[in-house]
Amino acid sequence: MTREKTDFWVGLFVLLGIIALVFLALRAGNLSSFSFSRSYQVQAYFDNLGGLKVRAPVKSSGVVVGRVSGIQFDNQMYQALVTLDLDEHFEFPADSSASILTSGLLGEQYIGLTPGGDDKMLAQGGRIQYTQSAVVLEELISKFLYSSADKEGSATPAAQP
């Protein structure tokens, strides 16, 4: 084999290796814009998103069934509008509910879908009516502190005349 042929094959091998590494990195980071499965979009309104981000998983029973594809603020409803891309293999009843949950105590936030009991299924452009916003840790701590302060204040005995 001549040197030029060897250089060509080595270059081709290196190029294919780089393409494979880029593909694996994008798939592992869930950043690829090309997907191998079809999906349909549904929307849901939330009062508080917490730290939910685009590309966050949508899970049902712990299984990833889709991804968050967009987050916007609706000026008429004064709520966050979240667009979900659900894999077409997974169908959910129209009365399903969506909650913003956290993996662990301080982990990433994701949307949990709980199926309803309706015969009609969510379809492209549908809307999830029943939602539960994110639980904000700071609000829980302040409620706990203020409620314990109220209990201490009310536990003092009344002054005797």
63-112 pLDDT, tens digit per residue, is 999 999 999 999 999 999 999 999 989 999 999 999 999 887 777 889 99
- Please state the rounded mean pLDDT for residues 116-132: 90
Report the sign of the C-alpha dihedral through residues 71, 134, 113, 36, in that order: positive
> What pLDDT does 149 receive?
63
Question: Is residue 18 over pLDDT 90?
Answer: yes
Mean pLDDT confidence for 45-52:
90
* CA neighbor of 48 nearest in space, from 113, 132, 154, 127: 132
- The whole-number pLDDT of residue 60 equals 92
pLDDT given at position 114:
92
In this structure, the strands spanning 109-114 and 97-102 are antiparallel
